[in-house]
Amino acid sequence: MTADQRAAADPLTADLHELLHGLGARMKAHLERCAGALGLTVPQAAALRHLQSPVPMRDLAEHLYCDASNVTGIVDRLEEAGLAERRPDPDDRRVKTVVLTGEGRRRLDELHRVFVERHPVLHGLDDEDRRILRDLLAKVLAAG
């Protein structure tokens, strides 16, 4: 049985598969556009998102689902851009904590504003559909 035959055997799954692919492409494009508009790469924007409050390098790596060695470079670039700073942890001298600068805070707020304001899903439905979608997504994420 080929992939096409399987898809034909279950049209609902095939439709959902296709729609989810389209949704993923939209969301990826939206994220890249918003980050790029603010002079950030996607991983830099993702890092910023986790810096609402100060975070050790190690924790940032976990949030970003990547190896700790990558975070060194990402934070280097945020620091070069004047958006974040490394601070020594007084309780454990091995640890460096990443803190947003004032400019970093403004950039993060702007990123959030643009991201929500132009989000293709958040504004493509009326409130009743938005509530239904919210409940469905909550169910999906709880199930996984």
Residues that bind its own copies (CB under 8 A): 2-4, 6, 12-13, 15-17, 19-20, 22-29, 31, 52, 65, 108-109, 112-113, 116, 119-122, 124-125, 127, 129-134, 136-141, 143-144
66 binds, among DNA, its own copies, none (CB under 5 to 8 A by kind): DNA
Taking the complex as a whole, the smallest distance from the CB of residue 7 to its own copies amounts, in Å, to: 8
Q: Which is nearer to DNA, 7 or 79 (CB)?
A: 79
Greatest extent of the chain over all pairs of C-alpha atoms, in Å? 62
Nearest one of 106, 99, 93 to 54, comparing CA atoms = 99
Q: Which is nearer to DNA, 76 or 103 (CB)?
A: 76
Taking the complex as a whole, the smallest distance from the CB of residue 16 to its own copies amounts, in Å, to: 5
106 binds, among DNA, its own copies, none (CB under 5 to 8 A by kind): none
124 binds, among its own copies, DNA, none (CB under 5 to 8 A by kind): its own copies
Taking the complex as a whole, the smallest distance from the CB of residue 90 to DNA amounts, in Å, to: 9
Nearest one of 123, 119, 132 to 26, comparing CA atoms = 119
